[in-house]
Amino acid sequence: MIKITFPDNSVREYDAGITGYDIASQISHNLAKEVVAVTVNGEVWDLQRPITNDAAIKLHKFEDPEGKHTFWHSSAHLMAGALEALYPGIKFGIGPAIENGFYYDVDPGNGTVITEADLPDIEKKIIELARLNSPYVREEIGKEDVLAYFTKKGDEYKIELINELEDGTITLYKHGNFTDLCRGPHLPDTSPIKAVKLLSLAGAYWRGDEKRKQLTRIYGITFPKKQMLDEYLNMLEQAKARDHRKIGKELELFTFSQKVGQGLPLWLPKGAMLRERLESFLRKIQVKYDYLPVITPHIGQKELYMTSGHWEKYGKDSFKPIQTPAEGEEFLLKPMNCPHHCEIYKSKPRSYKDLPIRYSEFGTVYRYEQSGELHGLTRVRGFTQDDAHIFCRPDQLKDEFKKVIDIVFAVFRAFDFQEFTTQISLRDPENKEKYIGSDENWIKAEKAIIEATEEKGMKAFVVPGEAAFYGPKLDFMVKDALGRNWQLGTIQVEYNLPERFELEYIGSDDQRHRPVMIHRAPFGSLERFVAVLIEHTGGKFPLWLTPEQVVVLPISEKYHVYAEKVLNFLNNCDIRTLIDSRNEKIGKKIRDNELKRIPYLLIVGEKEENQGTVSVRRQGKGDKGSFRLEDFKDLLKDEMNRQMEGLDN
RNA sequence: GCCUCUUUAGCUCAGCUGGUUAGAGCGGCGGUUUCGUAAACCGCAGGUCGGGGGUUCAAAUCCCCUGAGAGGCUCCA
């Protein structure tokens, strides 16, 4: 007998060799029907793998992350089996479960191209195979035999993977006629896979290496119930409706022009007003934190970037330098503001008493991004950073870092970004030559970031190898409508530029010392921030920020005079108000202005004119009743004050 | 940059395997209506079908080159 411990710490005894499935069926018939995997001593196992020793277990249904993972991993195998049936000789790369579904990288071989039109047939085949209820059979086989199998099959990708595995036994999983190299775990059989949707096709380099062959990646998702698939597809639809590219167009915030160039956003009047408001919002905070504004030009001599190291690192992948006509002097469009700011620091001698110095600038920078990477406002070739560089003494570094974290948190609070993750990016200890700067400085900088986040009580993922080439960083990431992660705020420690620009201050000991730099951008860039804000709010911006706050809707032309009076009153109170004087019925005007996501609609007709009131509708919330003009103004001011509270602490 | 797909009016889209003057809804403009909480009615004007080249008696439709967009991959100071 062995002792099995359950998550609630209860212990039961079973015969050695019992399986997770047996345990589930002894608990209840329904559980046995729904369970898909079991964690044994912290490792996820197949349900039918015998448990031979005392163990702590947890049974997983589809709803658990481990359950989904197993379900989708098995689905990837099932799809591979379907592909092999439809495309004989097809070769397989890797096929893992992902956050939402799974994919498989395949090479159909001899010039065959799989297109979206083929996906329904593949889906059909998958369902057909699933209904055979084939068991997923685990086999442990010697490496030589496995190699022989895939060599015979001619699957060079699998052979490459196997060769990198340690000698000894290797696990294979088999269902129906399909056998795959796999660590597992898997479902007991294919029967729970009831609903399948292949979502998209994409090229993906073998092993993520752009120098190697590009395989066809097929993304899909499966569910144990058809209804769950419908709900998921419905969710995707709704996410699409929040896409900032769509809403940005609808609300006339920004546009792109083929003629101006790809990745170069054009801000329309309403978008520009929104941006200005964001800028003044941050300026206000920065005044409080003693930042000093600076302004620098859009270009700088190439030598500037040779000094900074950017030319060496990014020069060959950048926009080519521009030249003066006669002398051929070379200038670069600025890709970063920091070198300019360093020169401002250098414009006069500094004392330790001057530090920290905090220079801020909404600096527009230009970077060559590969055409396939451009994406709406989130990845562009020209954008404006809410940039600042803090020059401080080493002993001030951690405190300064913490103050910046406070600013980022204030920003996120003001915009109600509750779901964000933070990542500390350190250098790759295996590839130290990728970075510039001394070992000693890197160690100091990484320590400062880690300590500052700890002291702020933050839970940050530490990711080695993700640092910038000049220093470690702390990034704040937010998810977009489609679940993609975007970096917003960033805080980076920089020992390198002070070194390269030979920045100095005179210490209390009358000696020359080197300051430390912090590079920070709470929004990241205005472009990306607006994009994420649009998706976060669905275009329903906070009242203080939205381009148009109120629209007055006269019932008919007879009330235009009164509507003008309301308009003037509100505009005089600094409330951004419009009037919809079109010759349309009130229902139509309401509909159109609701769709434009204007927060307040004021209906004025005979009754309102006689009583000096307005009939108020809040966007998305319908009729709020009648208000005296004064009271309505107070209502708005209150709402805005509440929204701005986060800023004033 | 690479793979697959898309590109038709200001916007959203229809135009089957090539066949006469390229359609619809919304929007715009003109008129009628003067109206009470998410779409009044009538009429009109908008397109060298992303651009260039080719095949054909005939191209929005087929082929080639190219621009832009989408989803990924690689990259991201």
ipTM: 0.94
Using the structure, give the distance in angstroms from the CA atom of A123 to the C1' atom of B14, rounded to a whole number: 28
pLDDT at A453: 94
Summarised one tens digit per residue, pLDDT across range A218-237 is 999 999 999 999 999 888 88
Residues A74 and A223 in one domain: yes
Q: Which of A508, A537, A566 is the last residue of a domain?
A: A537
Q: Which of A61, A82, A98 is the last residue of a domain?
A: A61
- Are residues A26 and A174 both part of a single domain? no
Q: Taking residues A319-329, what's their average pLDDT?
A: 93
Tell me whether residue A321 is in a domain.
no
| pLDDT at res. A643 | 80
On whether both A106 and A206 belong to a single domain, the answer is yes
A272 touches strand B (CB under 7 A): no
Residue A481: the pLDDT is 66
Cβ–Cβ < 8 Å for A89, A114: no
CA of A293 to C1' of B16 (A): 64
Statement: residue A480 has pLDDT above 80: no
Give the CATH number, domain containing residue A557. 3.40.50.800
Q: Are residues A70 and A184 in the same domain?
A: yes
Do A479 and A565 lie in one domain? The reply is no
Residue ranges making up the domain that contains A624: 550-647
* Shared domain check, A592 and A570: yes
Count of domains observed in chain A: 4
pLDDT exceeds cutoff 60 at A646? no
A202 touches strand B (CB under 7 A): yes
Does any domain span residue A265? Answer: no
Instruction: Indicate whether A647 pLDDT > 70.
Output: no
Nearest residue (Cα to C1') for B3? A203
User: A182-186, A284-288, A529-533, A636-640: lowest mean pLDDT where?
Assistant: A182-186
Residues 6+ apart with CB under 8 A from A54: A2, A3, A4, A5
Query: Same structural domain for residues A214 and A123?
Result: yes
Amino acid at A517: M
CATH number at residue A24: 3.10.20.30
Q: Which nucleotide is nearest to A336 (CA to C1')?
A: B77
In this prediction, residues A151-166 reach a mean pLDDT of 91
| Residue A263 located in a structural domain | no
The reply to whether A503 and A574 lie within a common domain is: no
In a domain, A260, yes or no: no
Q: Is the pLDDT of residue A91 over 70?
A: yes
The proportion of chain A whose per-residue pLDDT surpasses 70, expressed as a percent, equals 99
Taking the C-alpha atoms of A202, A208, A210 and A212 in order, what is their torsion angle to the nearest 10 degrees?
-100
Q: Are A483 and A345 in a shared domain?
A: yes
The reply to whether A436 and A385 lie within a common domain is yes
Q: What is the pLDDT of residue A171?
A: 93
Residue A328 placed within a domain: no
Does at least one atom of strand B sit less than 7 Å from the CB of A615?
yes
A556 with A500, same domain?
no
What is the tens place of the pLDDT at every residue in A584-640?
A: 999 999 999 999 999 999 999 999 999 999 999 999 999 999 999 999 999 999 999
Q: Which residues, other chains included, contact A639 with Cβ-Cβ below 8 Å and sequence gap of 6+?
A: A543
Looking at the predicted structure, is the pLDDT value of residue A526 above 80?
A: yes
The pLDDT score that the predictor gives to residue A649 is 46
A177-194: average pLDDT: 93
Chain B positions with a protein C-beta closer than 7 Å: 1-5, 11-12, 27-28, 32-40, 67-77
Between CA A76 and CA A68 the distance in angstroms is 12
pLDDT of res. A216: 94
Predicted confidence at residue A435, as pLDDT, reads 85
Q: What is the pLDDT of residue A297?
A: 97
E strands along A393-419, which residues?
none
pLDDT digit string (tens) for A62-77?
Answer: 999 999 999 999 999 9
- A105 within some domain: yes
Provide the CA A111 to C1' B18 distance, Å, integer: 28
Active site amino acids of A: 338, 367, 385, 387, 389, 473, 519
In the prediction, which pLDDT does A606 show? 95
Domain-embedded: residue A55: yes
Q: Indicate the range of A96-100, A291-295, A433-437, A452-456 predicted with least confidence.
A: A433-437
- What are A594's two structure tokens? 């609701």
**Do A382 and A515 reside in the same domain of the chain?**
yes
What pLDDT was estimated at residue A430? 82
**Closest nucleotide to A308, Cα to C1':** B77
**Last residue of some domain: A35, A61, A87?**
A61
Query: How much is the pLDDT for A238?
Result: 84
Domain with A438 in it: what CATH number?
Answer: 3.30.930.10
Is A579 a member of any domain? yes
| CATH, residue A95 | 3.30.980.10
Alpha-carbon span A222 to A71, nearest angstrom: 8
- For residue A517, the model assigns a pLDDT of 95
Instruction: Note the CA–C1' distance, A225 to B43, in angstroms.
Output: 53
Nearest-angstrom CA–CA distance, A38 and A45: 5
Q: What are phi and psi of A625, to 5 degrees?
A: 90, -175
Q: Which residues of A554-580 are buried (b: 16+ CB within 10 A; e: fewer)?
A: bbeeebeebbebbbebbeeeebbbbbb
Q: Which residues of A58-92 are buried (b: 16+ CB within 10 A; e: fewer)?
A: bbbbbebebbbbbbbbbbbbbbbbbbbbebeebbb
pLDDT in tens, A350-377: 999 999 999 999 999 999 999 999 999 9
Q: Give CA angle at A455 (A454, A456), nearest 5°.
A: 90
